[in-house]
Structure 1
Amino acid sequence: MFGRSTQAMKDRLGVPKGRPLADRLHPINMTAKQLATQMTNLNIEQKDLHGTAQIGVEHVGNNRSARDALVNQGTIPEDLPAQEDIRKVERRVRKDERRVEGTGFKAVESEMPDD
């Protein structure tokens, strides 16, 4: 998909070792990778593919097709910016949920409009 190794993309996007690249990918890249995976899943059945080699070749080809579609529209997958780490977003959402549950949707006084 990116024209370089996973580790090279992790380095480019600042993904720490041991963390998935997907945690920082731009939504367009995630969607393209999901499309390639679904194309592979469909073709495994339709083409009756078996074994790692056959399926791997199919998947690489589908990733290349998804990449080509993006590039043809002027989007270079590896040039898209890193996104906020999904785990940080999840922690913030949990914190906000606890705050909302604790206040019962009451506006904090500093957030209330002046009359």
Structure 2
Amino acid sequence: MTFLGLTLDKLIVIGVIAAIILGPERLPAAAERLAGLVRGIRDLANGAKDRMREEMGPEFDDVDWRKLDPRQYDPRRIVREALMDDAPKAAAAASTVAATAAAGRARRRTTPRDPLPDGAPYDVEAT
């Protein structure tokens, strides 16, 4: 389990270092202040959630928050799914482009004014 990138091992090391630095006299007071800080942050978050629920109304409970989590978006997966959905369309478009390119190459070979050799990326009709 990690919390803000801190594993249990790291938290134990931080606790031991804090116990050494603060000493046994000041450690209980520091732990109490830390617990108060955590409680305050939790109360602040709950207050914000309650205020949001109050201002948004009953629709707030219907929202699936996990679906809106930005960490779930993987750009590679999104692109892959988009390409897989358009696979038949893309194949048809690719065959059309290939046929057009083949016709252009055949036309270029018969054009006597072609300044470049065959296979060069030059479109006579574009100029």
Same fold (TM over 0.5): no
* Greater gyration radius: 2
TM-score (norm 1): 0.31
TM-score (norm 2): 0.29
Higher share of residues assigned helix = 2
